[in-house]
Chains A and B, each alone.
Chain A
Amino acid sequence: MKISLFVPCFVDAIFPDVGMAAAGVLERLGHTVDFPEKQTCCGQPPFNTGMWDPAREVARHQLRAFDGVETLVSLSGSCGAMIKVFYPQLFAGDRDEKSACDLASRTHEFSDFLVNILKVEDVGARFPGRATFHDGCHGLRELGLKTPPRKLLANVRGLELIEMKEAETCCGFGGMFSVKFPMISTAMGEVKCDSLIETGADFLVSNDSSCLMHIGGMLEKQGRPRKCYHLAEILAAT
Chain B
Amino acid sequence: MSATASQGPPPSSAFRASARRFTRDLRHRGLIQKALSGYYTKRDENKSRFQSWQGARDLAAEIKFEAVNHLDRHLEEFASRIESRGAKVHWCPDAEAARSAILAIARENNVRSIIKSKSMTSEEIHLNDALESAGYGVFESDLGEYIVQLRHEAPYHLVFPAMHLTRGEISDLFQKELGSEPTDSPEELTMIARRVMRKKFCEADMGISGANFGVASTGMISITENEGNARLTTALPRIHVAIMGIEKIVPRMSDLALFLPMLATAGAGQALTCYNTLFAGPRQPGETDGPEQFHVILLDNRRTALLADPEQRDALHCIRCGACLNVCPIFKNVGGHSYGTTYQGPIGSVITPHLRGLQSWKHLSGASSLCGACTEACPVKIDLHHHLLQNRRNAAAQKPLWYERLAFAGFQFLMRNPALYALSLKLGRLGQIFHPLVNGSPLDPARAWTSSRSLPKLAPRSFREKWKARAK
Contacts and interface: CB of A to CB of B under 8 A. Distances in A.
Instruction: Tell whether any CB of A sits under 8 Å from a CB of B in the complex.
Output: yes
Contacts of B467: 19-20, 23, 35, 37
Interface stretch (A39-47, A111-119, A151-159): A39-47
14 contacts: A12-B464, A16-B461, A39-B418, A46-B408, A57-B412, A137-B369, A138-B372, A141-B373, A174-B369, A174-B370, A177-B366, A178-B448, A183-B23, A184-B333
A137 B454 contact: no
Interface of B: 16, 19-20, 23-24, 29, 329-330, 332-334, 366-373, 375-376, 389, 391-397, 400, 404-405, 408-409, 411-412, 414-418, 421, 425, 428, 446, 448-449, 451-459, 461-468, 470
Contacts of A37: 418, 464, 467-468
A173 B425 contact: no
Nearest to A78: B370
A55 B396 CA distance: 12
Contacts of B416: 40, 57-58, 61
Interface string A1-15: 000000101011111
Interface string A175-187: 1011111111111
Contact of B456 (A182, A183, A217): A217
A18 B463 CA distance: 9
Contacts of A184: 19, 23, 330, 333-334, 367
Contacts of B392: 48-50
A124 to B, nearest CB: 21
A58 B463 CA distance: 20
A174 B73 CA distance: 42
A172 B415 CA distance: 25
Interface of A: 7, 9, 11-20, 23, 35, 37-41, 43, 45-52, 54-55, 57-58, 61, 65, 137-138, 140-142, 168-170, 172-175, 177-189, 191, 213-214, 216-218, 220-221
Given A49-B408, A57-B416, A13 B459 contact: yes
A69 B393 CA distance: 30
B400 A142 contact: no
A174 B471 CA distance: 35
Closest 5 CB pairs between A and B? A174-B369, A50-B392, A217-B453, A170-B371, A141-B372
A141 B371 contact: yes
Contacts of A191: 29, 329, 332-333
A191 B36 CA distance: 14
B389 to A, nearest CB: 7
A187 B23 contact: yes
A187 B376 contact: no
Most buried by A among B19, B418, B465: B418
A221 B453 contact: yes
Given A46-B412, A177-B368, A186-B453, 8 more contacts: A12-B462, A47-B389, A50-B394, A52-B393, A54-B409, A178-B449, A182-B452, A217-B454
